[in-house]
Amino acid sequence: MNLKILLLFLFVSVSSSQQIFAQEEAPLDPPSLHQKKSASPFLISPQFRAPLPEASNTEALIARQTPIRSQLARGTCSIFASTAVLESMMIIRGKAQESIDLSEEWLEYIVEFHRHGEEGSDAPSNFSALVKYGAINESSMPYIGVDWTDVKSKLSKERCGKVAKSLKKACLVSHYSPRLLTAHDNQLSNPSSRLFNLDFLKVRNEAFQFRDEVFTNHINSEYQVLSIDEVKALLNRGIPLQIDLDFYYGAWNHREGPNFGIPRAQEPWAEGMVGYPEIGSVDRKMSEAHPEGHSVVLVGYDDNAEMKTSQLMEDGSTKEFTYKGVLYFKNSWGASSFGVNFKLNGHPYPGYGAITQKYAEEFGTFFQLPLKK
C-alpha cells in the first residue's frame, strides 16, 4: 500500500517542540555552491522509457546506508552527503560491509585544497576529489565539528600556527595545511623539513591505496543526472543519489526562518517533511533574499504520497497547499532533531525525511557516483 503523508503545518509552540529545536545544529552551505546548474536537453535512453513503478523500495535502499551522522556546527552538508553516497555504493557493490565509516574530515580537506578558505562544496567537486585523492577511514582522521576561523585551540595553533598567511584561512577551515597534500614523501618523513608530518604521510598513503583499489580504471564521467525519470530509474534499481538544493527556510521549517519573518512549525520538522515555497509566499521572497544551500542523499520516491502545508503569504493571509509525489532522503543533521519522528510504512528512521518532488525538481540538481562491481 502506498504511503499517504498527511501533514498540517500548525504554527504552535509546545514544550516538546522547544526540546527538539534546542537539539539542532542544522548549518547550511554557501548559496554559490548549490544554485541549480543548467542542464542540456536530456534524451531519454531506452532503459528509462519502460514504465516505472509508482514507488521504489525505499526501505531496501535505507538498509544499504550507513548510520545517520551529524555535521555539527560546520557547513559541510555536501561533504557528508557525498561521503554517505560513496559508503552506500561501496556496500552495494560488495566492496565494504555495512560497518564502513569513511572520513568526512578528509574529504573536506581535499576539497578545500582547491577552495582556499571557503567551507562547503558540491557533489561534482566532491566526487572528483575522491577519484583523484581517495578516501580514508574515520578513525584515521576523525571529524572535528567546528572550523577554527573563530576558535583558537592548542591543536589549531599546532597545525596552522606556522602556515603561510595566504594559506592560513584554508588551514583553519580544513584543519591541515594545504601544502601537505602535494608534498613529497621525503618532505613529510624528514624531521628537518618544515612539512615533516609522519601522521599525515600515513593518512595520505591510506587514501592513495583506497583510490587505487576502488577507483582503478574509473572513467571520470559527468556525474549530473539530467532528468527526474533517470533519477527514479536509478532509485528503483537501488542506487542512491546526491541532490544539491537551493534552500527555503519555510519549506524546511528551519530555525533561521523566524529571523526573516517566516513562520516555523515543530511537527513537520520532527516528521522530516519538506514542502515547497509557493510563489507569493513569505518563504519564497525572504529565502531568495537570504540564499543558502543544502545537500542530502536520495534513497527513494513515491509518486502517490501526499504532503499538505500551510504557508504565510505576502498579503498576510495563510493558505493551504497539497503536493503529490515525494523523494525520500537521508540527512546529515543527526537523528535527534530534524526527522526524529520520521516513519515509513510504520517503521521509524530518525534523521531521514521526505521532500516534495516539485521542490526537488525545481530547485535541486541530482548527481550519482558510479562505481564498478
Please report, for the chain, the start and end positions of each structural domain, with discontinuous segments joined by +: 15-367
256: β partners: none
Rg (CA), the chain: 21
Q: What does 316-367 look like in DSSP terms, one character per residue?
A: S-EEEEEEEEEEEEE-SB-SSBTBTT-EETTEE-TTEEEEEHHHHHHHEEEE
Q: Which fold has domain 15-367?
A: Cathepsin B; Chain A (3.90.70)
Helix ranges (DSSP H) in the chain: 15-22, 58-62, 77-92, 104-115, 123-133, 154-160, 165-174, 185-189, 198-214, 228-236, 249-252, 266-271, 282-289, 357-363
pLDDT tens per residue, the chain (373 residues)? 444 433 333 333 334 444 544 455 677 876 645 555 544 333 445 555 568 999 999 999 999 999 999 999 899 999 999 999 999 999 999 999 999 999 999 999 999 887 766 777 899 999 999 999 999 999 999 999 988 887 778 888 889 888 888 888 888 988 999 999 999 999 999 999 999 999 999 999 999 999 999 997 776 667 999 999 999 999 999 999 999 999 999 999 999 999 999 999 999 999 999 999 999 999 999 999 999 999 999 999 999 999 999 999 999 999 999 999 999 999 999 999 999 999 999 999 999 999 999 999 999 999 999 887 7
**What does the pLDDT look like over 262-319, one tens digit per residue?**
999 999 999 999 999 999 999 999 999 999 999 999 999 999 999 999 999 999 999 9
Q: Alpha-carbon distance 231 to 39, whole Å? A: 14
Name residue, grid cell 547550511: 28
Q: Alpha-carbon distance 253 to 305, whole Å? A: 20
Q: Alpha-carbon distance 111 to 33, whole Å? A: 13
Q: What is the pTM (predicted TM-score) of this model?
A: 0.89
- Residue 233 CA from chain centroid, whole number: 21
Say what the pLDDT of residue 319 is. 98
**What does the pLDDT look like over 98-147, one tens digit per residue?**
999 999 999 999 998 877 667 778 999 999 999 999 999 999 999 999 88
Q: Using N-to-C axis directions, what is the helix angle for 104-115 and 77-92, rounded to 10°?
A: 130
